Amino acid sequence: MAQSPKIQSLKDIPGEEVFLSDTLPKELKRVSIIIPAYNEENAIRTQIEKIHSVMKDAGWQYEIIVVDDGSTDNTAAEAEKANVKVIRQPRNRGYGAALKTGISAANSDYVSIIDADGTYPAEALPEMLAKAHDYDMIVGARIGENVEIPWARRPAKWFLRKLASYLAEYPIPDLNSGLRVMRKSAVERFYHLLPSGFSFTTTITLAFFSNDLLVEYHPIAYAKRIGKSKIRPIDAYHFTLLILRTIVFFNPLRVFLPLGGALFIVGLGKFIYDLFIGNLSETAIMGFLGAFIIWAIGLLSDQISRVGLGGK
């Protein structure tokens, strides 16, 4: 089981983990479950019924909020038949925009997000909620048994996960899982950064790690989706840019120091070669200058970032 290194659990019995959520009165255990949906008429009711089934005995008060993101089919009508709150967007605004709409409408201190397509197991919600008061975010990591991720996507996902783990300085077993439990107040801190597209989950992951918030990964299965995926190949490129942009915002030296170091090494290598041939080239000088300029920009960005984040 891969876990974040930020682990703070309550242990009252040797060898057995006890979470604060288990000891709280029921009136303090309330969660809003947000389901963003776009053209999911064939899956939405089944997913809602699964959530009702697992939550009725979970010991939590809950509400389900379906955000119909401008669907052109009967998604909203199917959701309304399942006795949940439905918010209709007048047009398709994107996955992240739908989540922000749902989170803003939530009446709980804790919010959970889960997709409408049946890929994420609703059965994992009670175990994740049991840890809710001990962490700022619990992520359903697709590292359990029976994970149905298409092979064509795995190389890109592996690269993005490794890049994000390096830049965030924490091992991230699942960068963009769509099953999470979060403190609403923690999410609201980053509303101005959260995009309207699929990169919402990537951004919130990096934002939490970069600000030393407590994150726990909970292994889950991942089923084959019902219907057609909305993710396109070009989204891998967008995710890469987003990772770099988010880390530059919170921890710019993590990007600028190695980039400047690469240029410095190139310039140094060319300088040593020029000494042997007795001719100092512009390439060596440009390598050194480029490195110093990039390092200076990184230091300036770091100061700006610290001022913007209150010196954290």
pLDDT single digits (tens) 56-73: 988 899 999 999 999 999
Amino acid letter at 169? E
Computed from CA positions of residues 295, 301, 304, 305, in that sequence, does the dihedral angle turn out positive or negative?
negative
Dig out the tokens for 101 from the structure. 């709409």
Contacts of 152 (CB under 8 A, 6+ apart): none
Contacts of residue 36, defined as CB under 8 A and 6 or more positions apart, other chains included, come to 67, 69, 95, 98, 99, 102, 113, 115, 116
Mean pLDDT of 145-169: 74
More confident residue, 137 or 241: 137
Beta strands in the chain (DSSP E): 10-13, 16-18, 30-37, 61-68, 85-88, 110-113, 137-141, 180-183, 215-219
Whether pLDDT at 176 is above 60: yes
Query: For the domain 10-250, what is the CATH code?
Result: 3.90.550.10
Mean pLDDT, rounded, for 239-250 = 76
Burial of 22 (0-12, 13-18, 19+ CB in 10 A): middle
| pLDDT in the model for residue 4 | 39
Residue 17 predicted with pLDDT over 80: no
Residue 78 and residue 116: Cα distance in Å, rounded? 12
Which residue ranges make up each domain of the chain?
10-250, 253-308
Determine the pLDDT at residue 226. Answer: 60
